[in-house]
Amino acid sequence: MIEDRLLGRLGWTIPAITITLSTIIHALSGDARAIPFFISEGDYPGLQRIVFTTGLFCTGIILCLVSYRLWKVNLQHSRKFWLHLSLACGIWVGVNISAMAYFNMYDYLDQHIFTSMNVFHFGLAWGVLAHIAIKDGNIIGKKLRYASILTSFTAFIGMSIAMANGVKAHPEFLEDMDLNIIQPWVNWAAPFEFLLVIGLMLTLASLESDIGPKSEQEQE
C-alpha cells in the first residue's frame, strides 16, 4: 500500500505534471488553435493526448483514494457531518476527472463540459468542506487553503465572466462552439482557467499535511 503522505503528494503532483506537459507539447507541436488556449485543448490527437488521458485518468483514481484516506484518518477528531460531505465531493471529483480524461472536448463536447464543470464546482466544494471538517488541521495547510481557495474562486469568477461576455458578443458561438469566434475573450478566460487549476492543485497540496501526520500518530 502507498503511504498516506505519498498518496496525498501524488494527488496534486501527477495532475500538475500532466497538465504542464500536455500544454507544452500541444503548444510546441503546432497543433494549437491559438495561444492562449484552454487546458482541455491539449487533449488533442497525438502525444499530448496520451499524456493528458493517462495522467488525468490515474489522477481520478488517486483522488478517490486521497478522499477516502482523508476521511478515515480524520474521522475521530473532526466535524463528522462536514467530513462525510467532503468524502462524497472528493470521490465525485475523482470519478469525473477519470471520465473527463476519456471525454475529450473534440469528440465528446457535451460530456466533457459536464465532467469538467463537476471537477471545478465540486473541487472547490471539497476544499471548503475539508477545511471546515478538519478542525485541528495542520496550521500551514490551513493557511495554504485560505489562499488557494480564494485564488480558485476568484479565477473561476473571472473565467465565467470572460466567457459570458464572449457569448453575449457572439451568440452564434453557441451553435457551433468554435472558440476562434470568441478568442479575444478566451485570451482572458484561458489564463483564468490555469489560475483556477493552480488554486485547486494548491488546495490538494494543503490536504497532504492532514493525511500524513495523523496517520503517523496512529501508528505510534
Q: What is the pLDDT of residue 13?
A: 96
5 has a pLDDT exceeding 90? no
**Residue 68: pLDDT band by 50, 70, 90 thresholds?**
very high
130 in Cβ contact with 122 (< 8 Å): no
**Residue 2: pLDDT band by 50, 70, 90 thresholds?**
low
Average pLDDT of every residue of the chain = 91
Neighbours of 184 (CB within 10 A): 12
SS3 119: helix
Q: Give the CA angle between residues 74, 1, 5 to the nearest 5°.
A: 45
54 has a pLDDT exceeding 90? yes
104 in Cβ contact with 112 (< 8 Å): yes
Q: What is the pLDDT of residue 78?
A: 86
What pLDDT, in 10s, does the model give residues 72-116? 999 888 899 999 999 999 999 999 999 999 999 999 999 999 999
**Residue 137: pLDDT band by 50, 70, 90 thresholds?**
confident
Taking residues 165-177, report their average pLDDT: 91
Query: 85 or 218: whose pLDDT is higher?
Result: 85
Taking residues 179-198, report their average pLDDT: 95
172 has a pLDDT exceeding 80? yes
213 has a pLDDT exceeding 80? no
Q: What is the pLDDT of residue 218?
A: 43
The domain limits of the chain are 4-212
Mark 156-177 as b/e (b = at least 16 C-beta within 10 Å).
bebbeebbeebeeeeeebeeee
**Residue 1: pLDDT band by 50, 70, 90 thresholds?**
low
Q: In the chain, where does DSSP find H-type helix? A: 4-29, 47-74, 80-102, 109-133, 139-169, 173-176, 183-208, 212-219
220 has a pLDDT exceeding 50? no
What pLDDT, in 10s, does the model give residues 26-51? 999 999 999 999 999 999 999 999 99
Q: What is the pLDDT of residue 219?
A: 38
Q: What is the pLDDT of residue 212?
A: 63
